[in-house]
Structure 1
Amino acid sequence: MKLSANLNFLFTEGGKPISERIYMAHGAGFNAVEIPFPSSELEDVLQAKESTGIQIGLINISLGKFNPIKSDSKFGNGSVPNNQENFKKELKDTIEFAKKVRCT
């Protein structure tokens, strides 16, 4: 069995960036992680991945303008009527990011 640390929920203390959480997951014995879409951290994520040898097995697509506090907020771009173009852009960006970090 292979385990992967979901960095949406693990190693979140202090609001650390995803790249630092990769190092923490590796230090805790994980050899794979799942990450949110950290578009501004590409180089740092690549460095952490290469330094640790950890695999990135899943990348979540952006939720768009979802706000869990507002009752009229819609969850994710894919579920909002007439928002297909935003969803397509987020999907394309996520796929490109996944390719760059060699998501398995």
Structure 2
Amino acid sequence: MKFSANLGFLWADRPLPDAIRAAHAAGFDAVECHWPYAVPADAVKAALDETGLPLLGLNTVRGNPGENGLSALPGRAADARAAVDQAIAYADATGCGAIHVMAGFAEGPEAHAAFLDTLRHARAQAPDTITLLIEPLNRHDAPGYFLKTTDQAAAILSELDLPGIKLMFDCYHVGRTEGDITTRLKALLPIVGHVQFASLPDRGAPDHGEVHYPYVFDAIAAMGWDRPLGAEYKPGGPTEDTLGWLRR
């Protein structure tokens, strides 16, 4: 298996270029992040070039406090498009392969229409080298988030019927909301663009909790998935102290 370090959580106490270097030293095959925009893109690109690690993904901005994304918010189309354009520019400058288009807290037909409109804009603006990702968030951590389940996400992708827009399958979020992680992933695999993981229910390292990740990783490998899996967990201390699972 190959693994990607999500630097939104891992080595979050370091400047992003130094976190990239730390991930490389620890043996990760790639990196990803949340909101890198305060760091000049050329500094991130230099660290990526130095280490040889690809940047797999980043998120569109959350917006104002409490919004957690803009793309599904009725009446915020201009802001949502600006967030998408910002993400595309940063991804293009760093060679990043994917953008998670964050939906935000909203519900109802107007939110659904706003989300589709934003995604159509994003696909029209982004080069073919950038995959767009949508991700359901679990109801415990993000109550009221627009995108709630993998079924909802799959229906949206079917309605859009556009190339290069995929599902971000986060084993943590799916496990908290739907369960049956490996069965769900196998059924959805044709529309999955990236896979992430963390322990349940505390979102820690994948070496404890309700899910036995050695089994999950073996099952994913048996599905033929050969791209890096995203370690998006909260270390709760020095990241190096939580990497026993990676060494094993």
Structure 2 residue matching 1:55: 3-state secondary structure: coil
Displacement of 1:2 in angstroms is: 2.1
Match of residue 92, structure 1, among 60, 68, 85: 85
Displacement of 1:80 in angstroms is: 2.7
1:36 counterpart residue number: 34
- Superposed CA offset, 1:21-79 (max 9, x none): 111111111120111232232121011101100110111111111x3xxxxx3221124
The CA distance in 2 between the partners of 1:53 and 1:91, in whole Å, is 26
Calculate percent identity across the aligned residue pairs.
31
Structure 1 residue matching 2:56: 3-state secondary structure: strand
The CA distance in 2 between the partners of 1:29 and 1:46, in whole Å, is 19
Structure 2 residue matching 1:40: 3-state secondary structure: coil
Give the TM-score normalised by the residue count of structure 2.
0.37
- The 5 Å alignment of 1:4-83 reads 4-12=4-12, 15-41=13-39, 42-65=41-64, 67=65, 73-83=66-76
The CA distance in 2 between the partners of 1:17 and 1:62, in whole Å, is 19
AA at the equivalent of 2:44: V
Q: Contact 1:37–1:61 (CA<8 Å) still a contact in 2?
A: yes
Q: Give RMSD over aligned pairs.
A: 1.4
Give the TM-score normalised by the residue count of structure 1.
0.82
AA at the equivalent of 2:63: G
AA at the equivalent of 2:37: S
Larger RCO of the pair (alpha carbons < 8 Å, separation 6+): 1
* Structure 2 unaligned residues grouped into runs of 5+: 98-248
The CA distance in 2 between the partners of 1:57 and 1:18, in whole Å, is 14
Structure 2 residue matching 1:4: 3-state secondary structure: strand
- The count of residues paired between Structure 1 and Structure 2 equals 96
* Structure 1 ranges of 4+ moved more than 2 A: none
Question: Larger Cα Rg: Structure 1 or Structure 2?
Answer: 2
The CA distance in 1 between the partners of 2:90 and 2:35, in whole Å, is 8
Q: Contact 1:7–1:35 (CA<8 Å) still a contact in 2?
A: yes
